[in-house]
Structure 1
Amino acid sequence: MIDSKTAPYAALLLRVSLGILFLAHLSLKVFVFTVPGFVGFMGSLGLPPVVAYATMALEFVGGLMLITGFYARWAALPLAALMLGTIVSVHGHNGWMFANKGGGWEFPAFWLVALLVVALLGDGAFAIRRARTA
């Protein structure tokens, strides 16, 4: 049974943690790998530059939406799709363990599941704009 008194705070903790992680990974792309470096990496995978820019935009906007709770459950869905794309295009061929060379797909798979939990559970406590529920 789910504790209805604490569940909104669990959802808050999950969505804020995920949002911070997305902003941290965006920062890595921008400040360490650099934007041209990330675009080049995506190009080495056969992906056009627009995919790199869309990825960074989604990580920025989606991360902020998760942190603030601005339609967070709906923000989680395109971010989950991004993680699925990451598994298929970047990490899938590196094996399961993220410690493998190039990073396996266990970590993106965990993010995917956590984002689906946010989408299913809802925005949680202190959301500035809640998504409508059925």
Structure 2
Amino acid sequence: MTNRQYEYSLLVLRVTLGVIFLAHGLQKISQLDGVIQFFGSLGMPPFAVYAVAATETIGGAMLLTGFFPRIASIGISLVMLGAIFTTKLDKGLLNGYEYELMLLSAAVAVGLSGSRILSLGEALKAKKQPEQKQF
């Protein structure tokens, strides 16, 4: 695999993960009362809903645009670990936490590797660096 293929594969993973989390975050925001009740049934305080919804929405947008994808991946990884350990672990892998585990794995991969293609963060970095003269 060439470096270019590697970067494009990370782009696909980052954008897909971003779309999924942005959609989930917006869904939580649009159904806030129900999500607060669900979190409450798990013994979690209402502020946890706001933290999760913000992490999913903002983190998803950050991944989608490539704006600090490593930082976004950390937040999303923490949300997925929380989902696995609070609601899914007792159900087992199949029909339990396999989806969350896959999203966690994707977030860890993007977090470890970063993603430079079509990335707002990379564009801003390039703009900050002075152009080098070529002789």
| TM-score, reference length from structure 1 | 0.86
Q: Does 1:119 align with 2:118?
A: no
Q: Is the 8 A contact 1:83 1:109 kept in 2?
A: yes
Q: Alignment identity in percent?
A: 36
CA-atom RMSD, angstroms?
1.7
The total of aligned residue pairs comes to: 124
Which blocks of at least 5 consecutive residues in structure 2 are unaligned?
A: 126-135
Alignment deviations for residues 81-127 of structure 1 (CA, whole Å, 9 cap, x no partner): 110011001111222123xxxxx111101111110100111123011
- Which 4+ stretches in 1 moved above 4 angstroms? none
Alignment deviations for residues 42-88 of structure 1 (CA, whole Å, 9 cap, x no partner): 00000000101100000110000000000112210111011001100
Q: Does 1:71 align with 2:63?
A: no
Identify the residue that residue 27 of structure 1 maps to in structure 2.
26
Letter in 2 for 1:27: L
SS at match of 2:4: coil
Structure 2 Cα separation of the partners of residues 26 and 70 of structure 1:
17
Q: Give the helix-richer structure, 1 or 2.
A: 2
Identify the residue that residue 4 of structure 2 maps to in structure 1.
5
Structure 2 Cα separation of the partners of residues 91 and 28 of structure 1:
20
Q: Does 1:88 align with 2:85?
A: yes
Structure 2 Cα separation of the partners of residues 73 and 10 of structure 1:
16
Which blocks of at least 5 consecutive residues in structure 1 are unaligned?
A: 99-103
Identify the residue that residue 34 of structure 2 maps to in structure 1.
37
Identify the residue that residue 120 of structure 2 maps to in structure 1.
128
Identify the residue that residue 101 of structure 1 maps to in structure 2.
none
Q: Is the 8 A contact 1:92 1:105 kept in 2?
A: yes
| TM-score, reference length from structure 2 | 0.85
Letter in 2 for 1:85: G
| Higher CA-based Rg | 2
Letter in 1 for 2:22: L
